[in-house]
Structure 1
Amino acid sequence: MQLLSRSSWNRFPIPFFGLVIVLLVSLASHTSSSTEQEKSSLLQFLAGLSRDGGLTVSWRHNTDYCTWKGITCNQERKVTDVLLASQGLEGFISPFLGNLTGLLHLNLSRNSLSGGLPLKLVSSSSILVIDVSFNRLTGGLSELPSSTPPRPLQVLNISSNLFTGRFPSTIWEVMKSLVSLNASTNSFTGQIPTTPCVSAPSFAVLELSFNQLSGNIPQGLSNCSVLKLLSVGYNNLSGYLPDELFNVNSLEHLSLHSNWLEGDLNGISKLTNLVTLDLGGKFIGNIPESIGDLKRLEELHLDHNNMSGELPTALSNCTNLVTIDLKSNHFSGKLTKVNFISLPKLKKIDLLFNDFTGTIPESIYSCSKLTALRLSYNHFNVQLSEKIGDLKSLSFLSLAHCSLTNITRTLQILRSSRSLTILYIGFNFLHEIMPEDDSIDGFENLQVLSVNDCSLSGTIPDWLSKLANLGMLFLQNNQLTGSIPDWVNNLHLLFHLDISNNSLTGEIPRALMEMPMLESDKTAPKVFFELPVWNKNTFMQYLMLSAFPKVLNLAINNFTGVIPEEIGQLKGLVALNLSSNELSGEIPQAICNLRNLQVLDLSVNHLTGVIPAALNNLNFLSEFDISNNDLEGPIPTGGQLSTFPDSSFGGNSKLCGPMTRSRCGSAGAGQISVSYRKQFRCKVIFAISFGVFFGVGVLYDQMVLARYFG
């Protein structure tokens, strides 16, 4: 560009230059005002935090806000991104963030933020993505007037919070660009909205699981022509599955698990793009042959239904299957109708609680990627094949109540499955002898072993001492004799031991008081189960080993002697059951050191002396029983013991206090004798303890819950 000559400049009058200067100053002033608003809005957000996760160090007033941690700006110095996930933030979300007129992405997920979600953010004229999942946000989502101009929001993730109230319906009318809505794991009520299906042509993801939604599956969902994911499981939905839903052939993931929905699967073949089908509930009928049309299907979950019939041969055509979960139904017939050779990607098979017959098909052993196999509680005529050793990745194996015989041969076959970490083989091998053969090895990785309810005779075998990684051992409800071996304290990871209802004798060994995991608060290894495990007492589902409590259950045996004073070393114990034995002596004072105890049962023994007053200080104690002993003196009051019923103290004729019929100091004190020892000797105890769920737990629990959830 040619420069102006001096003469050219002289043509412009002086006022022109003044106008230029005014415009430049005005522009600079506007820019300065705009940047100050950006910084001020961010600092207002910071001021609303009670814990800022160290942001104050970065967000200093005398530094460029565009360089602050988690902040991104565009060329015009407008904040476009506030990305502060997993920063340990506490406090509330300031509505001043809505003053960031260029903000596109807001991510405050996985913090501890509380309060509500400001409507100013949801109704922003610039924000495309809001993610505030995994916080402690409360309140509800406000409606927007229908006159509100269209908003650009595309993704809203408010999952895993504490939101309540009716799920809004009209707010979505102005969200013309909405693509994904995730409000799962809250406490929303009301019905499933269908407005986005009409107002937002690109709406593809609706995730509302784990709420309190009710009503039917609305027919209006058929208008969601590009919907890829519909997940509304674990709500209170009811009624029949509308046929219109099967017309949404764009669906890739359909999850309606754990509602009160009914219907059949006759129209399922229309959803040819399905990758995940999860319909646990009250569905009936059989699996149609047309299931074979779902060539992309990877996850098939039809558990806890009332489905029946044989498995269709066409299931072999779903060659991308990774998981087959059909537990708690009434399926019958032989598994040999399914050619598992055609399912090379299969990793998990769960057929628990059905009516299958015949043998385990040899073709299952061709599924080289199989990590979990649960066939328990069917009518199989099961004898293990040595080919199970071909399943090199098998970690979870459950064959309880499958008519297995010859425990020695079974263990010798299974030792070749070197990847096994979870093994349930209870309710088999009736009246056989527990093998003591030292040649039984190969279980070095085993972390849970359940050989319960087999009526096995013999002793606790020494080959168990080789299981260095064992965390949970269940031998209850057998006929084992002898004493607890001293090598038990060499199992350094053992934290849950149930050997109740056997015929074990001797004193409680000191070695049992030296269990490393029970002596400390250290948690078990974070091992994830390949298949979920239910706790029948809490009706909760567990997916990892460390979620279970530390338990020592020696009930219903013939142990003698005193309760060792060293029991006070087991500070990690959550449940202790020594009931229905022949123990004598006093309740050791050291037992009051077990501050984590939630369950303590010392009933039906010959314990004498007074009740230690310090038991009142076990603040977590929720189940307590010292009935049917020879205890004496006043029952300590004014603490935790006062919260338990009279039955917790009954059968101790020399006890007195408000929980008994004998008043301390009265003439009649100690004269009333209530003896229940014999009738309690064989009672089923410790059912109140949430520790007993494997064996008579893991698998029996599934039966209880199958009936419970219907």
Structure 2
Amino acid sequence: MTFIGLALGTLLLLSMASLASSCNEQEKASLLQFLTGLSQDNGLTALWKNDIDCCKWEGVSCSGDGAVVEVSLASRGLQGCISPSLGDLSNLQSLNLSCNSFTGSLPSELLTSSSIVVLDVSFNQLSRVLQPQESNSSVTNNRPLQVLNISNNLFTGEFPSAVWEKTSSLVVLNASNNQFRGLIPSSFCISSLSFAVLDLTHNKFNGSIPTGLGKCSALRLLKAGYNSLSGPLPDELFNASSLEYLSFPNNGLQGVIDGARIINLKNLCHLDLGNNMLIGKIPDSIGQLKRLQELRLSRNNMSGELPSALSNCTDLVTVNLKMNKFSGELNNFNFSNLINLKILDLLGNNFTGTISESIYSCSNLTALRLSSNNLHGQLSPRIGELKSLAFLSLSFNNFTNITNALRILKNSSTLTTLIIGNNFKGEAMPEDETIAGFQNLQFLSISNCSLSGKIPLWLSKLKKLQVLLLSTNHLTGSIPAWIKNLESLTTLDISDNRLTGGIPAALMDMKMLKSNMTATHVDTSLFELPVYIAPSLQYRTLPAIPKGLFLGNNKLTGTIPKEIGHLKSLAKLNLSFNCLSGEIPQQLCSLKNLQVLDLSSNHLTGEIPLALNKLSFLAKFNISNNDLEGVIPTGGQFDTFPNSSFEGNPKLRAIMVNPLYGSVEASAVPSLSMEQADRRITFVFGFCAFFGVGFLYDQLVLSKFYG
């Protein structure tokens, strides 16, 4: 976008207009003809007809002699078709119709114009295949077009070469976010020696990267991520020695990064080959790319140790190597020279040893993720030297001494996200009130650690905490009433522990679950790194995480409080595998935002509230293995829930419609016989053992909830 912005800024100087007293009548007619193609003009027609001089019309600029040189109508809410009449404006240099709702085709008259230098129709709904009509005019071979932005439309089919092959001045071409398919053409540089920017991101191109791109001597930015490209990076590509930005993420590229050839790209600042099928090592020669600022090689099959020469790339700001097979002692790499480094993501590799002390020399580091490796040891007090650190994820390693870690981190005033679960196995949850600190912490995960003890009081001081995850530990005692004092809390997961007592009424008074508001002091900006819930599900902001209350798999008793109906913004509620009794409260029916409701494996009695079928967002529902009775509601989302959502309640009946007579019959939900139950239990234990091994392996790749 930087290159496109610079090009647009430079080229728009051509259309700087002087004051004009009147406009050309023929050009005025062409502009009025443009209006006739609009089905929604958002008041533009009235504005234009208020003045007879089109040089004074909204979005129109003229030269000193009254010739229209610029039409800029971006973000005007216009709908309809783009009229070919704009191609009759013989002095038009810049046309910007971006961010509207135009449909149909892009008129060929605009692509073959003898005057247009900048053409921007991005962010519309244009869909017809681009194919300029050729003519015998002498200007056809000398089109002045320098910037063409057709991104974020609905164009389909193969990308026609006629768009650029007759354009000797083309500098910028952005066709990203469309549905072009087929091979990427190789002739971009045939006519234009000044061609510098090509963005084909988010299309459906397939095949290999064309070798002809290597002949683009002026090419500075090349982006073709999120397509279906395959094969290796062609040797010829590295002949494009002016490249500063090379980006092919989310394709199917194979092979290795050629260390002998990559050094030709001396100007490279950004290299993104993430989410492909590359193998091999990071070549030592990468250290010769002195201008490199971003290195993104995540989600490949690359291996080996971090090359020591990488420390020579002192301009590096981002290093993202997550989800590969990199290995070796992490503390063998010297990070000290990377003084500009802000983001280091090594999630899901095979690094061993302790955290390199040299990392703490990266004083500008804002995000550090070392999760899912084989690191060990204790956290060093030197991490306090990272005065800008906002995101820290160390989960799924073998770190020890959680008390020491929390005491060190509590004074990190910039820390907003802390993920340290699946470490500290079998230790005790520290209850030392001196741990209180974390003044800006908003996301805290200490799950999967088998920690003993109680939910500690020092958590009550974390006034900005929005997400608290303490699941899969061995915590005992009751749920403390002070949790309601965490006024920003929207997600609480204390499932899979050994908590006892009832569900406290105070939990039904959580401020941010009672309201659809966002706390005024909660940071709504992007996470420095995405937070994963599952391999295919990630969150980039805190407010995007569904509000949830997860109390399942504990030893809670008593009834479900009727006050639960106060939690109007609750999206997910899980109370399963406890010892709760009584009826399902009718007040649950008022939780209009509820997406998941799991009350299974308790001792609930009575009937299912019929009004639950009014919860239109409810996607997952489970009340199995209780002692419920009566008729299962029908209609709404209840028509989509499987039988497994209700089984284990022998007194429940389903309403069946006889297709012959249209009569209504009630039949019991199938319940398991003793023999079937024994077989089911045996299967479940066997399956859980098998699944547990696979699950633990999977967690070495991504956290159970957030990583």
**Structure 1 and Structure 2 fold alike (TM over 0.5):** yes
**Corresponding residue SS for 1:307:** strand
> 1:526 aligns to what?
524
Within 2, Cα distance between the matches of 1:557 and 1:184? Answer: 50
Cα pair distance change 1:702/1:191, threshold 3 Å = farther
Q: What are the equivalent positions in structure 2 for 1:50-129 lying under 5 Å apart?
A: 50=40, 52=42, 55=44, 58-62=47-51, 64-129=53-118
User: What is the CA distance between 1:665 and its match in structure 2?
Assistant: 8.6
2:307 to 292, 307, 312: 312
User: What is the CA distance between 1:452 and its match in structure 2?
Assistant: 0.4
2:562 to 538, 560, 565: 565
> 2:596 aligns to what?
599
Asked if structure 2 preserves the Cα contact closer than 8 Å seen for 1:527 and 1:546, the reply is no
Q: What are the ranges of 5 or more consecutive residues in structure 1 without an aligned counterpart?
A: 1-29, 686-694
1:548 to 545, 550, 563: 545
Cα pair distance change 1:671/1:450, threshold 3 Å = closer
Asked if structure 2 preserves the Cα contact closer than 8 Å seen for 1:44 and 1:96, the reply is no
User: What is the CA distance between 1:541 and its match in structure 2?
Assistant: 4.2
Cα pair distance change 1:532/1:666, threshold 3 Å = closer
- Counterpart AA for 2:267: N
Cα pair distance change 1:156/1:673, threshold 3 Å = same
**Corresponding residue SS for 1:508:** coil
1:366 to 342, 351, 361: 361
Cα pair distance change 1:550/1:31, threshold 3 Å = closer
* Pairs aligned (count): 663
**Corresponding residue SS for 2:408:** helix
1:421 to 416, 424, 442: 416
Stretch of structure 1 that moved more, 254-263 or 480-489: 480-489
> 2:266 aligns to what?
272
User: What is the CA distance between 1:603 and its match in structure 2?
Assistant: 1.3
Asked if structure 2 preserves the Cα contact closer than 8 Å seen for 1:645 and 1:659, the reply is no
Asked if structure 2 preserves the Cα contact closer than 8 Å seen for 1:506 and 1:558, the reply is yes
Within 2, Cα distance between the matches of 1:284 and 1:705? Answer: 28
Within 2, Cα distance between the matches of 1:177 and 1:702? Answer: 51
User: What is the CA distance between 1:51 and its match in structure 2?
Assistant: 5.9
1:470 to 451, 465, 469: 465
**Corresponding residue SS for 2:86:** helix
Cα pair distance change 1:567/1:98, threshold 3 Å = farther
Within 1, Cα distance between the matches of 2:656 and 2:454? Answer: 41
Within 1, Cα distance between the matches of 2:153 and 2:338? Answer: 39
**Corresponding residue SS for 1:439:** helix
Over residues 504-532 of structure 1, what are the superposed CA-to-partner deviations in whole Å (9 max), with x where a residue is unaligned?
Answer: 12222222222222222235742211112
> 1:16 aligns to what?
none
Asked if structure 2 preserves the Cα contact closer than 8 Å seen for 1:626 and 1:649, the reply is yes
Within 2, Cα distance between the matches of 1:336 and 1:697? Answer: 26
- Is 1:637 paired with 2:634? yes
- Counterpart AA for 1:270: N
Cα pair distance change 1:169/1:601, threshold 3 Å = farther
Asked if structure 2 preserves the Cα contact closer than 8 Å seen for 1:533 and 1:698, the reply is no
- Counterpart AA for 2:647: G
Q: Aligned Cα RMSD in Å?
A: 3.1
> 2:18 aligns to what?
none
Q: What are the ranges of 5 or more consecutive residues in structure 2 without an aligned counterpart?
A: 1-21, 689-695
**Corresponding residue SS for 1:412:** helix
Stretch of structure 1 that moved more, 255-264 or 159-168: 159-168
Within 2, Cα distance between the matches of 1:705 and 1:476? Answer: 11
User: What is the CA distance between 1:306 and its match in structure 2?
Assistant: 1.4
Cα pair distance change 1:443/1:667, threshold 3 Å = closer
Cα pair distance change 1:525/1:248, threshold 3 Å = same
- Counterpart AA for 2:425: L
**Corresponding residue SS for 2:218:** coil
- Counterpart AA for 2:383: I
Within 2, Cα distance between the matches of 1:270 and 1:598? Answer: 53
Q: What are the equivalent positions in structure 2 for 1:205-224 lying under 5 Å apart?
A: 205-224=197-216
> 1:492 aligns to what?
487
Cα pair distance change 1:235/1:669, threshold 3 Å = closer
**Corresponding residue SS for 1:381:** strand
2:152 to 148, 160, 165: 160
User: What is the CA distance between 1:123 and its match in structure 2?
Assistant: 3.1
User: What is the CA distance between 1:364 and its match in structure 2?
Assistant: 1.3
Asked if structure 2 preserves the Cα contact closer than 8 Å seen for 1:72 and 1:80, the reply is yes
User: What is the CA distance between 1:392 and its match in structure 2?
Assistant: 0.3
Over residues 389-429 of structure 1, what are the superposed CA-to-partner deviations in whole Å (9 max), with x where a residue is unaligned?
Answer: 11100011111122111111110011232110111100011
Over residues 513-565 of structure 1, what are the superposed CA-to-partner deviations in whole Å (9 max), with x where a residue is unaligned?
Answer: 2222222223574221111233426x244322222211221111122222222
- Counterpart AA for 2:262: I
User: What is the CA distance between 1:604 and its match in structure 2?
Assistant: 1.2
Identity of aligned residues (%): 56
Within 1, Cα distance between the matches of 2:347 and 2:66? Answer: 60
Stretch of structure 1 that moved more, 94-103 or 666-675: 666-675
2:651 to 633, 649, 654: 654
TM-score by length of structure 2 reads 0.87
Over residues 35-89 of structure 1, what are the superposed CA-to-partner deviations in whole Å (9 max), with x where a residue is unaligned?
Answer: 53254145336xx15262x545643433543233332222122332222334444
User: What is the CA distance between 1:599 and its match in structure 2?
Assistant: 1.6
Asked if structure 2 preserves the Cα contact closer than 8 Å seen for 1:452 and 1:696, the reply is no
2:123 to 124, 134, 143: 134
1:247 to 239, 245, 250: 239
Within 1, Cα distance between the matches of 2:180 and 2:361? Answer: 46
Asked if structure 2 preserves the Cα contact closer than 8 Å seen for 1:178 and 1:196, the reply is no
**Corresponding residue SS for 2:483:** helix
- Counterpart AA for 1:107: N
Asked if structure 2 preserves the Cα contact closer than 8 Å seen for 1:177 and 1:200, the reply is yes
- Counterpart AA for 2:438: F
1:617 to 609, 614, 618: 614
